Amino acid sequence: MITAGDFRNGVTFELDGNVVQVVEFQHVKPGKGAAFVRTKFKNVITGAVVERSFNPTEKFPTAFIERKDMQYSYADGNLYHFMDTETWEDVAIEEDKLGSNFKFVKEEMVVKVLSYKGNVFGVEPPYFVDLQVTQTDPGFAGDTATNASKPATLETGAEIRVPLFINEGDMIRVDTRTGEYMERAK
């Protein structure tokens, strides 16, 4: 059990039959009246974000989310297959549970599969991935505008904006959380 007074960012707990994760919290002690905890939390299954205040002594069951390393194998229709790196077991996950940043994952990449009580609800790719640029327009000599960028298609099919000096065939590092170009990969 966890009390609302113990809330911290990232803490997961059960609320009204749902699993939620604290995004922001603030302990408030007004001049008059009792103290309370103002909280913003996210439903880990649906992704909905809600704000709510709690009495600091309210208790909730702690929810333990399992994060397991699995290797992405292949896609078959709207099912994506992952292999457990310890047991070699194949796990099929529906496309709607992958998240928008899955577009940066290529075959044989190791990701974290998130589950609660055996039910998979999400996939977390690595924060940074190195991908090859498969299509982009060439940069032009003398095109030196500050922070200028152009569209580029990556080997996974994802499209991002890259600096003008990036060419087809270059390996680049991408931040999967923001979808932004970071640097040339070594």
Q: Exposed e or buried b for every residue in 1-38, given b needs 16+ CB within 10 A? A: ebebbebeeebbbebeeebbbbeebeeeeeeeeeebbe
Q: Are residues 119 and 139 in the same domain?
A: no
SS3 assignment, position 174: strand
Task: Specify the number of domains making up the chain.
Answer: 3
pTM over 0.85: no
Which pLDDT score is estimated for 144?
60
Contact 20, 44 (CB under 8 A): yes
What is the residue range of 21's domain?
2-60
CATH number of the domain where residue 145 is located: 2.40.50.140
Q: Are residues 49 and 8 in the same domain?
A: yes
Block means of pLDDT (10 residues each) for the chain, 186 residues, are 87 88 89 90 84 92 89 91 90 84 90 85 88 85 69 93 90 91 87
DSSP conformational letter for 172: E
Query: Pick from 109, 124, 139: which residue ends a domain?
Result: 124
Which pLDDT score is estimated for 138?
81
CATH number of the domain where residue 25 is located: 2.30.30.30
Q: Are residues 75 and 43 in the same domain?
A: no
Query: Pick from 20, 37, 60: which residue ends a domain?
Result: 60
Which pLDDT score is estimated for 51?
93
